[in-house]
Chains A and B, each alone.
Chain A
Amino acid sequence: MTRHYSAVSLLKEGLNAQRGWRPAWRSPEPKPRYDAVIIGGGGQGLATAYYLAKSHGLRSVAVVERGWLGGGNTGRNTAAIRSNYFYPESTALYDLSLSLYERLGRELNYNIMLSQRGMMQIVSSPGEMEMAARMVNAMQVNGVQAELLDRAEVKRRVPIFNFGDDARYPVHGAIWQARAGIARHDAVAWGYARAADRLGVDIIQQCEVQAFLVEGGRCVGVTTSKGEIRAGRVGMAVAGNSGALAAKAGFRLPITSYTLQACVSEPVKPIFDTVLVSPMTGTYVSQSDKGEIVIGGGLDRVPSYGQRGNLPQLETVLSGLLEMFPVFRQLRLLRQWGGTVDVTPDSSPIFGESPLPGLFINGGWGTGGFKGIPAGGTVFAHILATGSHHEVSRPFDLSRFRSGYMIDEAAGAGIAH
């Protein structure tokens, strides 16, 4: 029986007609009771379960997932990982995430295909260039390496960008984060699932949470399509469905669900070796290892749980792409899809105990949940294990909306929504 993934295992199984491989995780029936139950089998939920078992020693943990693992936003994003944020609180969270990503493949014994190809944020006017310098300075003060590139350097690195005199948004420079990059998003979910399973976590798919069990004003478990599951603590990490689940628990959240769509072209030869975003067009783009041009942009303007994009926004995103890269005019689109993202008023996530005691939230990531998976899982596991905040998650408590201590990255880092 082969469980460890390595070149030796490949050779051994090759000689053994591949008969020794085992499923990467079990599919157990739910037990009546766990120390912790996590709702949502996406990257955030699976990472939380993994760190609960690994860092906090919990041996009785379950993840319940309505659909299939990584079938929500974990499998629908454009796979970018970065930590180019403005506020120290955000940097602490997202840079923790990036640092964990840098050693995640080895830790999980799973190839997440992390490629730190750098991320370039195009700057299109002299005024913006000053704000870009402020941003780079802020990142450096917060301990994250960043550079301000001039036009010539951008042209050297991305010669196919539109440097013509007729460019609607001329290039004045760019913000560069060299450690940013992309990873295989499904692999992140699968890697965490496999590692969590090996530590004894029960991963229960096609198990929908229908209601919360409340006794004495505390959440003590969930009622699911596979029966009642009681738990010492319940955590929810359900991204775009946070609002719908909160309604079942009897409270509201500072979250509105929108569609974020993305698309990929047919595979083409390597032409573009970084991740690039232009705040002016709102379009961001990278090229996958397979050769597809991966394209994303801003939110659809209509709040939705539909998991499918609308055409006007796709047109906006693609016009932005063609404005930046006239050479992509010949590309043909292969696929287009949408995910439901949970957008908060300050574009920062929410962690902590919900208004229903015993039920804890990891949500409100909006468009940035994938890059935050390792850090989100780390701090949420700490919260579920101890019942109190991790030092990194404390500023992201739900109470910030009452106190007014927002972490406004829409204004700070210029997030597109």
Chain B
Amino acid sequence: MQLFTCPFCGPRAETEFHFGGDAGNLRPGGDSETNVWTDYLYFRSNLRGRAREIWMHLACREVFVMERDTVTHEVHATEALAETAAGEHRP
């Protein structure tokens, strides 16, 4: 069992967390082209190695950013969305 660190609750078992996609995948404006919507909805970076991802801690319902290695499963950092660079996410 791997432990992930929720920025709000601390280290918890991996089963308490839910994967939410690539960090920085911004929802496009309503009048965007179909290609932009397709890219946002379905296409993924799916990085091999170090990746920045959105996760939800199901116990406290907070979403946050986790930087993680998708090969070794090492977790480099977790941070609350409010602490990430302005404009990277729209909650």
Which residues of A are in contact with B by a Cβ distance under 8 Å?
241-244, 246-247, 252-257, 301-306, 310-312, 345, 401-402
Contacts and interface: CB of A to CB of B under 8 A. Distances in A.
Among all A-B residue pairs, the 8 with the closest Cβ atoms: A243-B46, A244-B48, A254-B42, A252-B43, A401-B42, A402-B38, A305-B48, A305-B71
Given A312-B14, A312-B15, A402-B38, A257 B46 contact: yes
B48 A310 contact: no
Given A310-B2, A310-B14, A304 B70 contact: yes
Contacts of A345: 41-42
Given A306-B72, A312-B1, A401-B38, A256 B46 contact: yes
Contacts, number: 74
Given A312-B1, A312-B15, A303 B34 contact: no
B32 interface: no
Contacts of A243: 44-48
Interface of B: 1-2, 13-15, 17-19, 34-35, 38-39, 41-49, 53, 70-73
Given A302-B73, A306-B70, A402-B34, A247 B43 contact: no
Given A311-B1, A401-B38, A401-B42, A306 B73 contact: yes
Given A243-B46, A247-B46, A301-B17, 16 more contacts: A242-B46, A252-B43, A252-B44, A252-B45, A254-B43, A256-B46, A302-B19, A303-B70, A304-B71, A305-B48, A305-B70, A310-B14, A312-B15, A345-B42, A401-B38, A401-B43
Given A301-B15, A303-B19, A247 B71 contact: no
Contacts of A310: 1-2, 14
B70 A257 contact: yes
Given A311-B1, A402-B38, A306 B71 contact: yes
13 contacts: A242-B46, A243-B45, A243-B47, A243-B48, A244-B48, A247-B48, A301-B18, A302-B14, A304-B70, A305-B70, A306-B73, A312-B15, A401-B41
Nearest to A345: B42
A306 B74 CA distance: 11
Provide the main secondary structure of the chain A interface. Answer: mixed
A302 B34 CA distance: 29
A312 B18 CA distance: 14
Nearest to A255: B46
Nearest to A355: B43
Contacts of B72: 306
B44 A254 contact: yes
B36 to A, nearest CB: 11
A246 B44 CA distance: 11
B55 to A, nearest CB: 9
B45 to A, nearest CB: 6
- Among B17, B47, B53, B70, the most chain A Cβ lie within 10 Å of the Cβ of B70
B18 to A, nearest CB: 7
B7 to A, nearest CB: 18
A242 B43 CA distance: 12
- Among A242, A246, A252, A345, the most chain B Cβ lie within 10 Å of the Cβ of A252
A217 B28 CA distance: 28
B68 to A, nearest CB: 9
A252 B1 contact: no
- Among B15, B43, B46, B73, the most chain A Cβ lie within 10 Å of the Cβ of B46
A18 B41 CA distance: 59
B1 A303 contact: no
Contacts of A256: 44, 46
Contacts of A311: 1
Contact of B43 (A244, A253, A257, A305): A253
Contacts of A254: 42-44
A241 B49 CA distance: 12
B35 A402 contact: yes
B79 to A, nearest CB: 18
A332 to B, nearest CB: 22
B15 A304 contact: no
Contacts of A241: 48
B45 A247 contact: yes
Nearest to B39: A252
A253 B73 contact: no
B46 A252 contact: yes
A354 to B, nearest CB: 12
Nearest to B34: A402
A210 to B, nearest CB: 14
A253 B46 contact: yes
A115 B41 CA distance: 41
A342 to B, nearest CB: 8
